[in-house]
Amino acid sequence: MTQQQSVIVVTGGASGIGEATVRRFAGEPGRTVVIGDINLERAERLASELRGKGAAVHARKLDVASEQEVKAFCRQVLDTYGVPQVLVNSGGLLQNAVHLFDLDIEEYDRLQNVNVRGTLLVSRELARAMCETGSGSIINLCSLTSFRPSAQIGYAVGKAGLHMLTQVMAAQWGPQGVRVNAVAPGYTLTPAMQARIDSGERDPAAVVEKSALRRFVDPAEVAETIHFLCSPGASAITGAILPVDCGWLVTSAYAAYASQPS
């Protein structure tokens, strides 16, 4: 990925980790950042703010669950800005814990359509052009639930699927010079997470206690990891799933082991 005339596409880029990623790339010279988000008003506000600071940022409406919208969005990106050097698939939905007997199948289907199918649709459309040019970097948003079971059933099944999808993409598109990796954010203090804390649906004390670093992840920290995986410094990395979780995964496993030091 070069610094000159590089095109960065971020789906779900109007808030949370996606917004932090947009800000990270837009802060560098020579970047054209395209936000694709279902909330066009919020995306345009972010784009306008960053353009006021001299960045080249553009907002486009995108519902990743709609194949028609995905095709139109990707065609517009390619025709207007050129082949992206980076695609970050940040568009996605959260879910609260639910018992299998009480699972709403419509919600389950919506989670699969947005989190998994949407990632596949956008990646496939833009990766065709990346493969033709012989370079590119794609980042998918996995989760701690890519590694551990969770009662967020639709969300967890989807994120586990994204783990496999990332590896398949990496294997198939690597020979054409396209790298595909994923980040697996832990409990990240996004607006969506804060809303769940405020409503009592998440216990912040439990999150902090079970994390080795005793804190939440900041969205900017995930964005920094994404930036690294797209950089020349990660040029030999593909098919990797990198946790960014303040040590939640290691702590949950360590604390559950029967033998503990006194």
Provide the CATH number for the domain around residue 154: 3.40.50.720
Q: Give the range of the structural domain holding residue 46, as residue numbers without chain letter.
A: 6-256
The tokens 């199948």 sit on which residue? Answer: 105
Residues in the chain, pLDDT under 70: 1-5
- Please indicate, yes or no, if residue 121 is contained in any of the structural domains: yes
pLDDT at 98: 95
- Say which amino acid occupies 123: S
pLDDT at 29: 93
- Please indicate, yes or no, if residue 156 is contained in any of the structural domains: yes
Half-sphere exposure of 194 (CA within 13 A, CB side): 8
- Please indicate, yes or no, if residue 155 is contained in any of the structural domains: yes
pLDDT at 192: 86
pLDDT at 260: 78
pLDDT at 2: 39
DSSP secondary structure of 239-257: S-EEEESTTHHHHHHHHHS
pLDDT at 18: 98
Compute the C-alpha angle 60/79/57, nearest 5°.
40
8 Å CB contact between 83 and 133: yes
pLDDT one-digit tens code per residue, 215-253: 999 999 999 999 999 999 999 999 999 999 999 999 988
DSSP secondary structure of 73-126: HHHHHHHHT-S-SEEEE----------GGG--HHHHHHHIIIIIIHHHHHHHHH
Q: Strands, DSSP E only, in the chain?
A: 6-11, 31-37, 56-61, 86-89, 136-141, 178-185, 241-244
pLDDT at 8: 98
- Please indicate, yes or no, if residue 1 is contained in any of the structural domains: no
Alpha-carbon Rg for the chain, nearest whole angstrom, is: 18
pLDDT at 201: 87
pLDDT at 75: 98
- Please indicate, yes or no, if residue 261 is contained in any of the structural domains: no
The count of domains in the chain is 1
8 Å CB contact between 188 and 202: no
- Please indicate, yes or no, if residue 25 is contained in any of the structural domains: yes
- Please indicate, yes or no, if residue 73 is contained in any of the structural domains: yes
- Please indicate, yes or no, if residue 211 is contained in any of the structural domains: yes
pLDDT at 5: 62
- Return the active site residues: 155
pLDDT one-digit tens code per residue, 57-93: 999 999 999 999 999 999 999 999 999 999 999 999 9
